[in-house]
Structure 1
Amino acid sequence: MPTPSLSTIVSTPSAAPAPSLVLAMAAGAGFSVASLYYSQPMLGLIAQDLATGERAVGLVPTLTQLGYALGILLLAPLGDRFDRRNLILLKSVLLALALGAAALAGQLPGLLVASLLVGLMATLAQDIVPAAAVLAPDAQRGQVVGRVMTGLLLGILLSRVVSGVVAEAWGWRVQFGLAALSVLAMGAVMARALPHFAATSTLRYPALLGSLLALWREQPQLRRAVASQSLLAVGFSAFWSTLALMLHARLGLGSAVAGAFGIAGAAGALAAPVAGRFADRLGSPAVARLAIAVALVGFALLLVDSWLPAVALLPLLV
């Protein structure tokens, strides 16, 4: 059976989506989520160019992540109520506009507003992954979603590396401009490739948000997962929001070196299948506790950085 055409309303697929469509969705997820992390290696350059302090410029990635959290809460539920294809295309345009506004920002307040909007619209990735799940039949859903998630992880991994190199060579504004163009190109590809999707709910928007509250009340495991992931995200963001500034101040290193730390994200990708196997044997809570302990050890090691010579600081960070 052929892959659904553009006019098709997808509900219960009987055939796997074409490899080209899966690739388009993987690229879309990767480019959209990368928008969250482009700024982090460039903070030193941004602070210097806009003549602002380290604390103030640290609000750029903070507001980006805040916008992302708000977008997941307030915008992601719309995928149940409306055609996901339309949401994906609309968010692609708005994300590109937000990235373009960041590139043109003349002062820090304008960049902060643009950063918040980038985070809101980068929830485009949270529409693409469910769309992949809907397009795949039950027997191949894990495989298809896994490929799209690979694109998303690559976006997280490579975004800092690319932005660090581009910003050091041509400036941070060029990086935001290129990001806007990449999102527009990705949106154009998905406009041609994606079919239409049937809505799965007739609830109005307030009722959709209310259903989230019902899930929160009824699922204690959900509450624990949200709490633990929120706290881990705080630590994750604190590290990346200050890394580039510290490297610039302590070691005189530029955005390219800060971006190269994104390669460390490969450790997470490589550990994922191992963690999955251990989770099957020991249970997810045990593996989560082990991972949290490893993160704690890593942060504890950073407490000694102020007593170390510069030559020893870089290996410690790695």
Structure 2
Amino acid sequence: MVAKQEKIGRKPGFSNKNLANSIKDLSSNTTMEKTQMTRHAEILCIGNELLIGKTVNTNATWLAKQATSLGITVKRVTVIGDNIKEIAAAVKEALARKPRFLITTGGLGPTFDDMTLEGIAKALNIKLKVNAQALSMIKARYEAYCREKRIPTAELTPPRVKMAILPEGAEPLRNSVGTAPGVKLKVGQTHMFILPGVPPEMKAIFEESVVPVLKKSAGKHAFFEKSMFVSNIVESSLAPLIDLVMRENPHVYVKSHVYTKDELAGEDARKLIELHLSTKTRSQRMAQKLLEHAASQLAKLVADNDGKVEP
């Protein structure tokens, strides 16, 4: 394997003048580092059920994928329990990193352990009060439930009013499929979006109220990706090849993923490695050029090292 690494080292350049000029133009407009700093997000998931393993954190996966596809870089995902002090501390820590967006899920319901808004108010040292617009949203939802005979009364009981108690200055976000409104709050340069933990409600509010803001922030930048699969080569042998290609293609990120594919639904199986290539650019055409160029380099290096690129 040492000889193969030396062979790679003797051929560091992958000549492509047109692509090189395109990359130069891309670099003059923006850098990946600057892009990540000006349009990055953090996700904070709240709920004891997540910490004890009772509930799989599908919200974080879904939110990260959606934000990434819109050109936003997710820098961190944090999970904490239903505890006011823990929530306040996590929010303070996140805001200290000055993300453009902080998205939270969970803890907006009517029960005693729904403490997210209290924790956020504590972190920001602001008061909580009944928000008239939020209360109106909740009232309308329970009246609809009552008409549908899903509940006996639309009375605004204390647990129902609890969902309308928001931090001062917060804006309620319409929940088209549930009762608890989402919440929008601006803290310095950070946009906070506080969403319910119930996945259909979280997704509905995100798509209606959060996506437009993320799109505006990302501008024309978007995330593009491509995968290729290789075999007959181990991940440790791929590592220097990936390093070389990423040095040659500074705007492309390459990540390897190992998994086993059953070919015959029996014991005959082979180990495949997925090479996931991604980039963020203003143009799909440019992204395709960048990804295809890097993939071509990887394919050649894999073949040179006795690996096989799967169709």
Establish whether TM, by shorter chain, passes 0.5. no
Q: Which has the larger share of strand? A: 2
Q: Which has the larger radius of gyration?
A: 2
Q: Which band: TM-score by shorter chain?
A: under 0.3
Higher RCO (Cα < 8 Å, 6 or more apart)? 1
TM, length-normalised to structure 1: 0.24
